[in-house]
Amino acid sequence: MSEVKVKVNVDYSLYLVTDRKLLGERNLLQSIELAIQGGVTLVQLREKSISTREFLELAIRVKEITSHYRIPLIINDRLDIALAVDADGLHVGQDDLPMIKARDLFPNKIIGVSASTLTEAILAQQQGADYLGVGAIFSTTTKTDASAVSLEQLELIKKSVTIPVVAIGGINENNLKRVMATGIDGVSVVSAILAKENILKAARQLSEKLIRP
């Protein structure tokens, strides 16, 4: 009888999605570590324009950092990379590997699904998603093809599903409170941390805003 792995308990409150274009000359690995030290609770490694070999080598090094801090590592889209580095999870979009197939190939791991409508959210839950990434809530330069989701729609999605909901898209220190007021489980950020000059400080400020009532 094969051993069943239990999924790690996940804190979705401050979910960092990587984008190396925002870093300029700064090192991605160092930036991820600073963000974790500042309060990031989950890291998604997203790479759309490098080779499979480069992605794999990078993922191995990022996994060393996230494992050291006991922070789950989610791989965006690439199941092969997630399997190769034994990542904690996989995140898929509506045009990526179907949720049901992802679950078959990546059992007992965290799988998140992007959703921009209530229908997509409910279907993802029915198919076994562990959490939803809902957005884009505000306009964003890091993902120009994301459909707009209002705060009212976000709140409705949260009330309609039982799995955690993470909002994404243009979320920063100025609008964070409004987004969290919908009752969601966390926010996914890119520019609000990685585009800042002081990554540690930026992450800490967001984390503190999430903690304060």
Each residue's pLDDT tens digit in the chain (213 positions)? 334 444 557 999 999 999 999 999 999 999 999 999 999 999 999 999 999 999 999 999 999 999 999 999 999 999 999 999 999 999 999 999 999 999 999 999 999 999 999 999 999 999 999 999 999 999 876 666 667 999 999 999 999 999 999 999 999 999 999 999 999 999 999 999 999 999 999 999 999 999 865
Q: What is the pLDDT of residue 8?
A: 58
Count Cβ atoms below 10 Å from residue 90 Cβ, excluding itself.
28
158 has catalytic annotation:
no
Question: What pLDDT is stored for residue 5 in this prediction?
Answer: 46
Query: What count of other Cβ atoms lies within 10 Å of the Cβ of residue 178?
Result: 12
Long-range pairs of 56-64 with CB within 8 A, sequence gap ≥ 24: 56/81, 56/84, 56/85, 58/28, 59/84, 59/85, 59/87, 60/85, 61/29, 62/28, 62/29, 62/32, 63/87
Let me know: does 85 contact 59? Beta carbons within 8 Å. Answer: yes
How far is it, in rounded angstroms, from Cα 6 to Cα 8?
6
Q: How many CB atoms lie within 10 A of CB 21?
A: 12
Q: Please give the model's pTM, rounded to 2 decimal places.
A: 0.94
143 is a catalytic site residue:
yes
The active-site residue, picked from 114, 116, 158, 188, is: 114
Pair 134, 167: CB distance under 8 Å: yes
Task: Please tell me the distance from the alpha carbon of residue 201 to that of residue 184, in angstroms, as a whole number.
Answer: 24
Tokens standing for residue 7: 């999924």
Q: Hey, what are 199's tokens? A: 């990554």
pLDDT at 144: 63
**Is 109 one of the annotated active-site residues of the chain?**
no
**pLDDT score recorded for residue 79:** 98
- Which residue in the list 7, 20, 26, 143 is annotated as catalytic? 143
Fold of 14-112+168-211: TIM Barrel (3.20.20)
pLDDT at 39: 98
Tell me which of 46, 78, 109, 204 is the catalytic residue.
46
